[in-house]
Structure 1
Amino acid sequence: MYCNFSNANANVIPCPSIESNPLKRVEEFKYLGSIVAPKACIERDIQNRTQTAWLKWRSLSGIICDSRMPFKIKANVYKRAVRPALLYGSECCPMRKTDEQKLQVTEMKMLRWSGGVSRTDKIRNDYIRGSFKVAMVHEKLREIRLRWYGHVMRRDDDHMTI
């Protein structure tokens, strides 16, 4: 990936190579589960997180969507497998309210589908959350950010990142 901070012509700068094989230039790439892009927006990263969570949800849909399975087990599977895939890496990325709402909508779609409830049934989100005993996304985001902040504050003053 090439970041053009000085507005120089990108074609003039030689492309790095390994053993005389030039590397391909890309606009974005995935590193440790997050999308890295030259622009400071996280919309693509949130889209990637949502897709990852849906993949995890689909792989567990045999348990999560089974009508004979108790809500307690469905909730435990959701909280321990699907939700971490949805919120991975969000403790240190700057999210706007619209970004949090996208995650909220994704989560409610998953919970409704797991509970066998559609929007036309006119059952409130609070009731669905209560039956699964799942906190709201913005509360969970706040919790993991504070946990990360606590780790940072407890570090030694001579830590290598300072």
Structure 2
Amino acid sequence: MVISRKQESPKCDIFINEVKLKQIEKFKYLGTIISNDGKINREISVRTAQAKINFQKMKTTLTNKHISIETRKRAFQCYIEPVLMYGCEAWTISNQIQNKPEATEMWFLRRVLRIPWTTKKTNERVLNQANKRRALVRTIRKRQATFLGHVMRRGKLEHLVKKIMDGLATWLGPGKVSDILAAVKDRDLWRDMIANAYKQGTS
């Protein structure tokens, strides 16, 4: 595989014992889709599809009106969200990509509440009915921030989180990237910053 920003991936011929290796556009590594464009669109699509399959398997429980909405939300968080967000610590969330997990979050919530699209309820009304705020993207940001702190404290692999920094710099509040890099050295301060950003509900 050749990872490139170019619209057409460059060709690369590699031979082992005179046998040419096949050049591919994507492959799965440790459960995550790696694409030759370096983007996470395919991975998010796969995660979403797998989470929806798991949801269908638990549909009887997750949509049961005899079970309190709080219990159903907890079940969703325990059994569906981990499938949806597997490996999200390494995702690069742009504004365009952010819309995808947000739309997926509402897709699940409408089904948990058994709200058909024909009712034409806005997302805000659905969230109010569930007594819930949007949380999926905030949870992804929280996990990325925790991962960043872990990596920076070890002093290695900083290059893996450079792209994440832009999104986290805005999410964690006003300040320079240098301020964030200094904060991760203090575990307690870093946890407080993550908790405060998560509580504020920004994405």
Answer yes or no: same fold by TM over 0.5: yes
**5+ unaligned residues in a row in structure 1: which ranges?**
none
Higher relative contact order (CA 8 A, sep 6+): 1
Alignment of 1:1-162 (within 5 A): 2-3=1-2, 7=10, 10=13, 13-14=14-15, 16=16, 25-130=23-128, 131=130, 133=132, 135-155=134-154, 157=155, 161=157
> Could you tell me whether the CA contact under 8 Å between 2:27 and 2:33 is conserved in 1?
yes
What is the RMSD computed on CA atoms of the aligned residues?
2.9
**Kindly, what percent of the aligned residue pairs are identical?**
25
**Offset of 1:153 from its aligned partner?**
3.0
**5+ unaligned residues in a row in structure 2: which ranges?**
159-203
The TM-score, its normalising length taken from structure 2, stands at 0.63
Count of matched residue positions in the alignment of Structure 1 and Structure 2 = 153
CA distance in 2, matches of 1:124, 1:71: 19
The TM-score, its normalising length taken from structure 1, stands at 0.77
**Offset of 1:22 from its aligned partner?**
7.9
CA distance in 2, matches of 1:49, 1:55: 10
116-125 or 80-89: which moved more? 116-125
